Structure 1
């Protein structure tokens, strides 16, 4: 029996969640208050902390149960025309597209920049020359932030609202003084994990309040509205964040800076090590004009060609190393979505889909795990030279 057969798998991701003893004081506060949902004290405290860190007035921010529902409710709150077309990158997670469809709209799939892997204002401008769109939903791909000043100018010039799917970009994506709307994820695999959760930030007047109302079924809870409490004002959903998840989020927030720095160091070390053994044959996501990635949560590379990627996948499988073809197949190649989307030419996304591969990346990686990955990479890439 070979060593590879007896070694445990190197996981792709390992959630960076607080330990039970760290949560206990917050859970005791929750239990003492006997408030477990419905915008309880811990949710309100988390919102205050996040508003302060994001330098955002509290009325421009609200939590939700998860980022996918956050996207759906933001789109609903924009009051777009029935069947409106929403521009999104072809290279993204499926939830970006399904949120649009579930909100009653149609995704229009566009290309991404070859270096930053982002849907840019320039690409969106070109797409708007081809087809009439009613909103744009760029994605902070793998957490890489967008230039909000540029997207603000796009909104001003076109009148088309922009919502950034910043699911993986907490700590990296900022408004930076611009007007805009951001939706973050607090999922267990993100940089600010709460198990499940989401955050909506928007300078658009009344949008965060509308999302908050929609997340509570769409009923009125405002005593100044002149309507009885519980009156249904709009067709919402139950998308509130629970006190349990807020407790996790508050603990995670306390150590976010420390863990973000460790993630940056680990990413830089791995990229440098793997690039050296590859003879500079690997390509990585480039920083866009929105600034640096402050808390990476996964690590993707582009191999020289599809054959090299397939060879690396096979070698990793034999060495019990998990890999992932992130965001593949592309949205336009998924049967469930093909009849529901409009697909524009996307040569950069198509090329990425042939060569991109995610390797293990998580805090607490052991030297043995790192050495095993490096050895496999060196073996495969040496044979491809």
Structure 2
């Protein structure tokens, strides 16, 4: 934020890190000159070429989509599993992970997460598979923390079950890591690589990304070598293409990604150290797993000792006009629109997390006055609860 906080302002939870109109202008001028605004235009192809280089995959190993939720849905459709297949996913995740499964015609099976990394692991997935029938697994790179792709490749090889990583918040942290696998990223305005809206599917599974690409264009055949005429409907798809406008924003964001990722890591480190000091090192934070560390944090989620501390912290922040958010509450199985559609296994750790996690403001450009307001609110809450 550029202006100073006043008594009437709330400290926002998130502020999108989007390129300015001036920075975007060269790409927008190219788009306008080409008169190509959608349908896999030159800017989309350029953005995909950049991604292919960064992920070290051939061009046919990835495709952009309109958003990550549609990316997940189309990947599940492209896997061609029977309708009603049971897809294992963590109970502790954003609703889009589950709604993509439901919209693809399948059944979400909710299981627990590791208490330290807050993620569904291959070990937890094996336990779930021993308990009930599972047809595919949809782990989440929770808050962008990368999953261990080598471990998931071994799981896939041993079980024969397809694994798709919901890496919505994980761009720049989640890579293939030399393994075979499928990743789905978000380019929403609040993610580490913002394009306003957008998604990316990266997969080493033969033909999967190409299938998703076709599904994103209504299912129309564009391959002259196919047995179908170009323009004929090859399958029932959707309209989930990335526009040239969003590709322009993505290209501009890529230019500054490394610098902004460094700033995000530095900001997170400073805030964590300050909050730990205030709370006598009694706070808990997400722990990296074998997949590596978070390279571009986009949220600041703190775990407090119990639910009473969280209630106190929420109240103190509200009094100070500081926006906070409970991630993730309620859990998926307690949402009325989902409860009848899911199968729920043990979710003990997820339920504890849902009672003790709180998202605090985190964004590039946060000023010293805003930071101090947050620290003061946390200190007041901590003193209330600890005397």
Instruction: Give the TM-score band, short-chain normalised.
Output: over 0.9
Query: In the TM superposition, what whole-angstrom CA distance separates every residue of 1:129-181 from its partner, at most 9, and x where no partner exists?
Result: 01111000000000000000000000000000000000000000011110000
SS at structure 1 position matched to 2:330: coil
Query: 2:283 matched to 1:311?
Result: no
- 1:7, CA displacement in angstroms? 4.2
Contact 1:195 1:248 in 2 (8 A): yes
Alpha-carbon separation, structure 2, partners of 1:28 and 1:231? 33
Residue 17 (structure 1) aligned with residue 18 (structure 2): yes
Q: Would the aligned equivalents of 1:186 and 1:192 in 2 still touch at CA under 8 Å?
A: yes
Distance 1:240 1:249 in 2: 14
Which residue in the other structure is 2:124 paired with?
123
Once residues 349 and 227 of structure 2 are traced to their aligned partners in structure 1, the CA distance between those partners, rounded to angstroms, is: 53
Residues 322-368 of structure 1, C-alpha deviations (whole Å, 9 max, x = no match)? 00001210001101111100000111001011110000000000000
Partner of 1:56: 57
State the match for 2:159 in structure 1: 158
Distance 2:273 2:29 in 1: 45
Note if contact 1:90-1:332 (Cα within 8 Å) is conserved in structure 2: yes
CA distance in 1, matches of 2:203, 2:376: 46
- Residue number in structure 2 paired with 1:225: 226
Q: Matched residues in 1 for 2:28 and 2:35: separation?
A: 10
In structure 2, how many angstroms separate the alpha carbons of the residues matched to 1:374 and 1:76? Answer: 46
TM-score, normalisation: structure 2: 0.98
Partner of 2:338: 337
- Structure 1: distance between partners of 2:349 and 2:7: 40
Number of the residue aligned with 1:170: 171
Mapped contact 1:94–1:327 kept (Cα < 8 A): no
Distance 2:171 2:68 in 1: 12
Q: Which stretches in structure 2 are left out of the alignment for 5+ residues? A: none
In the alignment, the residues of structure 2 paired with residue 379 and residue 196 of structure 1 have an alpha-carbon distance, to the nearest angstrom, of 38
Shift of 1:6: 2.2
In structure 2, the residue matched to 1:36 is 37
> Deviation digits for residues 22-44 of structure 1, max 9, x if unmatched?
01110000000000000000000
Deviations 1:78-99 (A, max 9, x none): 0111100000000000000000
Task: State the alpha-carbon separation in 2 of the partners of residues 335 and 21 from structure 1.
Answer: 45
Q: Return the alpha-carbon distance in structure 2 between the equivalents of residues 327 and 320 of structure 1.
A: 21
TM-score w.r.t. length of structure 1 = 0.98
8 A Cα contact 1:67 1:184, kept in partner: yes
Q: Quick one: distance in 2 between partners of 1:382 and 1:265?
A: 27
Structure 1: tracts of 5 or more residues without a match: none
1:5–1:362 Cα change, 3 Å: closer
Give matches, 1:92-103, under 5 Å.
92-103=93-104
Spell out, residue by residue over 1:50-108, the C-alpha distance to the aligned partner (whole angstroms, 9 max, x if none).
11111111110000000000000000000111100000000000000000000000000
SS of 1:97 mapped into structure 2: helix
1:5, distance to aligned residue in structure 2 (A): 8.6
In the comparison of the two structures, how many residue pairs are matched?
382
Report the counterpart of residue 206 of structure 1 in structure 2: 207
Equivalent position SS for 2:246 = helix
Superposed displacement of residue 380, structure 1: 1.1
1:74 aligned partner = 75
Distance 1:345 1:113 in 2: 12
Retained in 1: the 8 A contact 2:312–2:384?
no
